[in-house]
Amino acid sequence: MKQKILNMLKNGKDFISGEEISKEFHMTRAAIWKYINALKEDGYNIESVPSKGYKIISLPDILTLEEVEPYLDTSFIGRNIKYFDTIDSTNKKAKEIAFDENEGTVVISEEQTEGKGRLGRHWVSPKGKGIWMSIILKPKVDPIKVSKITLLGAAAVHKALKNMNIESQIKWPNDILIDGKKICGILTEMNCELNMINYVVMGIGINVNFNQEDIPVDLKDKAMSIKISKDIEINRKELLGNIINEFEKLYIDFRDKKTISKAIKVCRESSALIGKEVRIIKGEEETLGKVLDINEEGELVVEFQDGTVDNIYSGEVSV
Ligand code: BTN
């Protein structure tokens, strides 16, 4: 009912009287008052004038389905959002519910207390300043192909930023950089049988509206936020909607047409690595080489110091 009243207020151009709401939903004035107060608690700024009724003055900066939906043009991704004010990790939650939820369900939290990065690292996720989300996917593809989903995610974030006139670079396979510093990381996890995927959880973390002081001292050389780089507050709802829209298009190509060529083109054109000398870290082992390309399979093509050329499909790369 809270939702219905919210929609009515959102659709109304001016004040909506208590009488109109009461007639529409067959409820008492006291009940309406209760719902209005609940909406105010959610952060909706609602003006109430005794002779006129209620009017929404401003919407809260929160990533609920109601707030994100106006920005979505997808058929299934993001149509079910499990929203949390605070949570340990959206990836962890998504894995807990993945068997019971449909493909395309997105878990979002305003804050993560135990955000998880790659290689067991902690992911700093302060309240209301980023996008911390995990998408549940159930592609019928060979589990070996799952790492490609990370590239689809990276390409989607890059395209979404571009739609908002923000230039970025993709550092294969899972980081997005602005001005050479990381603003986004992707952590893709899966649950599978020998040759069948049960589910994939793709977690995306974006430092959107961090101020300098929100970046831990030891990360200042490596990380930044979109706000710090552009000096403007970014509309998180618009960015989130854009990412989900771009991702769904690339994901459908991957799942149904078995192609990732559009995403590869984006990853190549905006690559932070092609042409660079890099260190490739795999466990204890470190090798030096030059990145030549990203091939159609999404692998990094590297020329090693001994002249051999190899395709790398996973690993940590540093410039
Ligand atoms: C990386 O190390 O670069 C990957 C970071 C991934 C962070 C995101 S935030 C949303 C989701 N939930 C998590 O606990 N981690 C991912």
123 lines ligand 1 (CB under 6 A): yes
Task: pLDDT band for 284, please (50, 70, 90 cuts).
Answer: confident
199 lines ligand 1 (CB under 6 A): no
Residues 81 and 45 in one domain: no
Strand, helix or coil for residue 130: strand
241 lines ligand 1 (CB under 6 A): no
Distances (CA, A) of 51 to 16, 25, 46, 54, 243: 10, 20, 15, 10, 43
Q: Which atom, in ligand 1's list, is nearest to the CA of 117?
A: 2
pLDDT of 316 higher than 90: no
pLDDT of 13 higher than 90: no
CATH of the domain at 218: 3.30.930.10
74 token code pair? 């997808």
207 lines ligand 1 (CB under 6 A): no
Residues 169 and 225 in one domain: yes
Task: pLDDT band for 315, please (50, 70, 90 cuts).
Answer: confident
0.90 surpassed by complex ipTM: yes
pLDDT of 245 higher than 90: yes
Q: What is the pLDDT of residue 238?
A: 98
The count of domains in the chain is 3
User: Is 282 annotated as a binding-site member?
Assistant: no
130 lines ligand 1 (CB under 6 A): no
- For residue 263, how far is its CA from the centre of ligand 1 (angstroms)? 20
271 token code pair? 């690559």
pLDDT of 65 higher than 90: yes
Residues 114 and 183 in one domain: yes
* β-sheet with 285-294: strand ranges across: 309-312, 300-304, 285-294, 277-282, 316-318
Residues 199 and 309 in one domain: no
CB 165 within 8 A of CB 310: no
Q: What is the DSSP letter of 119?
A: G
Q: Of the candidates 95, 120, 142, 100, which has an alpha carbon nearest to the alpha carbon of residue 255?
A: 142
274 token code pair? 């092609």
For the segment 182-230, what is each residue's pLDDT rounded down to a tens digit? Answer: 999 999 999 999 889 999 999 999 999 999 999 999 999 999 999 999 9
User: Is 91 annotated as a binding-site member?
Assistant: yes
Pairwise CA distance, residues 74 & 161, whole Å: 18
Range of the domain at 36: 2-58
Strand locations in the chain (E): 45-49, 53-58, 81-84, 106-109, 130-137, 169-171, 175-178, 181-192, 197-207, 277-282, 285-294, 300-304, 309-312, 316-318
Task: pLDDT band for 264, please (50, 70, 90 cuts).
Answer: very high
Residues 261 and 283 in one domain: no
Q: Whose CA is nearest to atom 15 of ligand 1?
A: 116
Residues 132 and 208 in one domain: yes
Residues 69 and 141 in one domain: yes
CATH of the domain at 305: 2.30.30.100
Residues 186 and 46 in one domain: no
- Neighbour tally for 150: CB within 10 Å: 22
Residues 86 and 225 in one domain: yes
Distances (CA, A) of 263 to 18, 246, 268: 51, 10, 9
282 CB-near residues (< 8 Å, 6+ apart)? 315, 316
Task: pLDDT band for 314, please (50, 70, 90 cuts).
Answer: confident
Task: pLDDT band for 283, please (50, 70, 90 cuts).
Answer: confident
176 lines ligand 1 (CB under 6 A): no
Long-range contacts of 300-303 (CB under 8 A, 24+ apart): 300/172, 300/173, 300/273, 302/278
187 token code pair? 């952590």
Residues 14 and 163 in one domain: no
pLDDT of 55 higher than 90: yes
Pairwise CA distance, residues 98 & 156, whole Å: 22
- For residue 280, how far is its CA from the centre of ligand 1 (angstroms)? 21
Strand locations in 115-196 (E): 130-137, 169-171, 175-178, 181-192
Residues 49 and 126 in one domain: no
pTM for this predicted structure: 0.95
CB 266 within 8 A of CB 151: no
Among candidate residues 16, 35, 58, the one where a domain is terminated: 58
Q: Whose CA is nearest to atom 16 of ligand 1?
A: 203
Residues 6 and 85 in one domain: no
CATH of the domain at 54: 1.10.10.10
Q: Which atom, in ligand 1's list, is nearest to the CA of 88?
A: 14
Task: pLDDT band for 282, please (50, 70, 90 cuts).
Answer: confident
